[in-house]
């Protein structure tokens, strides 16, 4: 019996998230978009707390971390925040600019709906509930094995994201497939995530959970400033989430809980007062929070030994510790590491060795800071691939 003739698709896109949807809608060839969730764009629809911080006016390569730091330059230069803003305006999707150049939609779901509609208008056959299992190179085509059968195409785009938020469909497909195709994958880790403190600090953090203050965080030579939130397990808040992008397991972190003052100088100046350290520092830091954080070090200045004063000042201005880990992929907003960019053309996202194979979005080893940069990378890398696919 003859084998039924298989359709040869122009392109199969694996992953109907931000990058896959945007890519699908950016070129007109007949294509298949495969997504294992029941709906495409699930993560996108809840991003930015339901308001989708879709880009940032300050986008530049400096906002990204990668083992190939120059890789993102071309795609980011070719696709700018106004390009996405223009698309939203054209389609009456309401958005606004917030602090630090962050751009937010009124409703994240408006963007998801727009991207699905746009993809369908551009000859995309969207199949949801289809798990992609394997991609193989076969002569001049690709064979994509899925839970719904086998599909053949001239081009394949891997847009399956990273490992963050497995509940929304994230998994190890991109890294596993890259390894099968002989491509290098740099070590992946959860980032833009809360940090856990070692056991000895856990009870203090638990007692302070829900409190926040302005802090500075030093990871190696990298310094961040912003709001820090105490949690039951350690620290969170924007300053910690940003810092987590630069932190690697086992490294020390230093936190300054009192960036507006030098505690040692202030306490020394007031060393004869009958008031406790936390009372003396009250103009600079919430006294109850300070009292709890200092614990037994919160003594009356007049009774304080030199070492106690020094230890208290250090705990406030230079609290140094090795985090016990992060809150993990279930809570991380992004995954650092991923498919090594060195094997890809930075203008097109096409694999240099395997023509017709494209990787876009978070699956690649390009990770942005908090503030709309990761979604902007999804759009920019998807646009770069789509421009190349138009010509194939
Ligand atoms: C809670 C949360 C909020 C966020 N908010 C923001 C924000 O406001 N601004 C910002 O810039 N970034 C935000 N991010 C990060 C941003 O969402 C991601 O960086 C971005 O979605 C990456 O796009 P992507 O298309 O590469 O991957 P994804 O959007 O993760 O899409 C990958 C898709 O592939 C599918 N898939 C995976 N494996 C398979 C398989 N084997 N077969 C078929 N389908 C598969 C997944 O189900 C998913 O739909 C947030 C992340 C999280 C977790």
Is any atom of ligand 1 closer than 6 Å to the C-beta of 361? yes
Is any atom of ligand 1 closer than 6 Å to the C-beta of 374? yes
Is any atom of ligand 1 closer than 6 Å to the C-beta of 315? no
**Smallest Cα–Cα separation from 326: which of 247, 254, 255?**
247
Average pLDDT over residues 140-166: 97
Q: Compute CA 382 distance to the chain's CA centroid, rounded to the nearest angstrom.
A: 17
Tokens of 175: 């890294």
CATH (residue range 195-326): 2.40.30.10
Euclidean distance between CA atoms 1 and 4, whole angstroms: 9
| Residue having the nearest C-alpha atom to atom 47 of ligand 1 | 169
Report the phi/psi class of residue 312: left, alpha or beta, with left for phi > 0 and alpha for psi in -120 to 50: alpha
Q: What is the pTM of this model?
A: 0.97
Query: Quick check: 379 and 59 in contact, CB under 8 A?
Result: no
Among residues of the chain, what percentage have pLDDT more than 90?
98
Decide if pLDDT at 2 tops 80. no
DSSP 231: -
Distance 161 CA to ligand 1 centre (A): 5
Decide if pLDDT at 175 tops 70. yes
**Smallest Cα–Cα separation from 231: which of 203, 254, 210, 215?**
210
Euclidean distance between CA atoms 199 and 186, whole angstroms: 30
Q: Compute CA 11 distance to the chain's CA centroid, rounded to the nearest angstrom.
A: 27
* Sign of the torsion formed by the C-alpha atoms of 357, 80, 103 and 98: positive
Ramachandran angles phi, psi of 357, nearest 5°: -100, 120
pLDDT tens string 338-354: 999 999 999 999 999 99
Is any atom of ligand 1 closer than 6 Å to the C-beta of 371? no
pLDDT tens string 295-325: 999 999 999 999 999 999 999 999 999 999 9
CATH (residue range 8-187+333-390): 3.50.50.60
Q: How many CA atoms are closer than 13 Å to the CA of 298, on its beta-carbon side?
A: 16
Residue 138 exposed, middle or buried by CB count within 10 Å (0-12, 13-18, 19+): exposed
Count of Cβ atoms closer than 10 Å to residue 321 Cβ: 16
Tell me what the pLDDT averaged over the chain comes to. 97
Decide if pLDDT at 78 tops 60. yes
Average pLDDT over residues 167-177: 96
Pocket test for ligand 1, best of 12, 160, 386 (most atoms within 8 A of CB): 160
Average pLDDT over residues 110-114: 98
Please tell me the predicted confidence (pLDDT) of residue 6: 78
pLDDT tens string 260-295: 999 999 999 999 999 999 999 999 999 999 999 999
Sketch the domain layout of the chain as residue ranges. Answer: 8-187+333-390, 195-326
Please tell me the predicted confidence (pLDDT) of residue 3: 40
Decide if pLDDT at 1 tops 60. no
Average pLDDT over residues 45-53: 98
Q: Compute CA 376 distance to the chain's CA centroid, rounded to the nearest angstrom.
A: 11
Is any atom of ligand 1 closer than 6 Å to the C-beta of 370? no
Is any atom of ligand 1 closer than 6 Å to the C-beta of 132? yes
Please tell me the predicted confidence (pLDDT) of residue 234: 98
Euclidean distance between CA atoms 241 and 193, whole angstroms: 5
Tokens of 307: 């070492």
Query: Quick check: 220 and 246 in contact, CB under 8 A?
Result: yes
Distance 384 CA to ligand 1 centre (A): 18
Instruction: Compute the CA torsion angle 13, 136, 150, 19 (nearest 10 deg).
Output: -10
Decide if pLDDT at 4 tops 70. no
Average pLDDT over residues 224-249: 98
Among residues of the chain, what percentage have pLDDT more than 70?
99
Residues 6+ apart with CB under 8 A from 225: 214, 215, 216, 217, 239, 259
Average pLDDT over residues 201-205: 98
Beta strand 141-146 with 149-158 is antiparallel
């Amino acid at each position: 019996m003859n084998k039924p003739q298989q359709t040869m698709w122009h392109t199969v896109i694996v992953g109907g998230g931000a990058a896959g949807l945007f890519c699908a809608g950016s070129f007109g060839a007949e294509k298949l978009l495969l997504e294992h969730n029941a709906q495409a764009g699930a993560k996108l629809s809840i991003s930015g707390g339901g308001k989708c911080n879709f880009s940032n006016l300050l986008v530049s390569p400096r906002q990204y971390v990668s083992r190939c730091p120059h890789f993102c330059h071309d795609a980011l230069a070719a696709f700018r925040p106004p390009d996405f803003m223009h698309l939203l305006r054209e389609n009456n999707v309401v958005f606004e600019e917030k602090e630090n150049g962050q751009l937010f939609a009124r409703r994240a779901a408006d963007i998801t709906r727009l991207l699905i509609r746009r993809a369908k208008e551009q000859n995309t056959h969207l199949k949801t509930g289809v798990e992609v299992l394997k991609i193989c190179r076969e002569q001049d085509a690709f064979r994509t094995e899925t839970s719904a059968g086998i599909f053949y195409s001239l081009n394949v785009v891997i847009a399956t994201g990273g490992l963050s938020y497995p509940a929304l469909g994230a998994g190890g497909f991109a890294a596993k497939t890259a390894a099968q195709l002989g491509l290098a994958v740099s070590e992946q880790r959860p980032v833009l995530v809360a940090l856990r403190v070692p056991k000895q600090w856990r009870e203090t953090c638990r007692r302070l959970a829900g409190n926040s203050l302005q802090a500075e965080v030093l990871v190696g030579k990298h310094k961040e400033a912003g709001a820090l939130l105490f949690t039951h397990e350690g620290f969170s808040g924007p300053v910690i989430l940003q810092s987590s992008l630069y932190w690697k397991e086992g490294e020390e972190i230093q936190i300054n809980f009192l960036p507006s003052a030098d505690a040692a100088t202030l306490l020394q100046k007031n060393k004869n007062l009958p008031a406790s350290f936390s009372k003396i520092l009250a103009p600079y830091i919430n006294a109850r929070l300070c009292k709890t954080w200092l614990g037994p070090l919160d003594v009356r200045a007049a009774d304080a030994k030199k070492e106690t004063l020094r230890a208290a000042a250090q705990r406030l201005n230079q609290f140094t510790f090795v985090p016990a880990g992060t809150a993990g992929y279930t809570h991380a907003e992004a995954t650092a590491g991923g498919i090594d960019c060195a094997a890809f053309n930075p203008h097109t996202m096409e694999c240099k060795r395997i023509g017709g194979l494209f990787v876009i979005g978070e699956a690649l080893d390009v990770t942005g800071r908090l503030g709309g940069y990761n979604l902007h990378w999804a759009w920019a890398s998807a646009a770069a691939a789509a421009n190349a696919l138009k010509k194939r």
